[in-house]
Amino acid sequence: MNKLAVIFIAAFFCVSLQTKGQPLSPDLITSIENEIDATFQKMVALAEKLDYDALNQGVDDYHKAGFLVNGNYYADYATLISAVKAGAQSVSKQKLVLKDKKITVLNEQVALLTASGTSQVNLYDGREFTGDFYWSFVYEKINGEWKVIQSHQSRGR
Listed by start position, the domains of the chain span: 24-155
C-alpha to C-alpha distance for 84 and 70, rounded to whole angstroms:
12
Asked: is 24-155 a CATH 3.10.450.50 domain? The reply is yes
Give tens-digit pLDDT for 33-55: 999 999 999 999 999 999 999 99
Tell me, what's the pLDDT at 157? 73
pTM of the full structure: 0.84
* Average pLDDT along the chain: 90
Q: Would you say 77 and 61 are in contact if contact means Cβ atoms under 8 Å apart?
A: yes
Tell me, what's the pLDDT at 9? 56
C-alpha to C-alpha distance for 118 and 62, rounded to whole angstroms:
30
At residue 93, what are phi and psi to the nearest 5 degrees?
-160, 165
